[in-house]
Amino acid sequence: MITSKFNSDRNILETRFFGEVTLKEIIDYIDATRLNRDYPRYLKILTDGLESFMNFPGEALPKIVEANNRSLEKYDAIVDAIILDSPRETALSIFYEELSKAPKYRFKVFSTKRAAIEWLDSFKDPKL
């Protein structure tokens, strides 16, 4: 399951992956982000995936990359940090990181929330 809430104090979309997370859920989440006109166009995302199991094979990752690339068309930039502790989910996410390289997108895997937030905070909105 995936839940999201925009934290206006931190200016970060806070997302949580928990339990079984399917390919369809991830693509639906990306599509919802693409269609949301209220989020800042320079979007920072913090995803807590510590209690999740991604129930799809690595071969499905290009479908996520395609959905993400469509979403990037609506944004100036997206900076995306995910927190994981499972070896399988970490490996999938690192593979995704390699596949998803795009000029307007940064994605990185972390093992702690503190490190993820520090990384997100290191990116400054060029319009501020």
Q: Which residues contact 23 (CB under 8 A, 6 or more apart)?
A: 55, 56, 60, 63, 64
Query: What is residue 125's predicted lDDT score, i.e. its pLDDT?
Result: 67
Structural domains for the chain: 2-121 (3.30.750.24)
Q: Which residues contact 45 (CB under 8 A, 6 or more apart)?
A: 12, 13, 15, 33, 78, 79, 80, 81
Three-state DSSP class for 12? strand
Query: What is residue 128's predicted lDDT score, i.e. its pLDDT?
Result: 36
Question: pLDDT tens digits, the chain, 128 residues: what are they?
Answer: 999 999 999 999 999 999 999 999 999 999 999 999 999 999 999 999 999 999 999 899 999 999 999 999 999 999 999 999 999 999 999 999 999 999 999 999 999 999 999 999 999 866 53
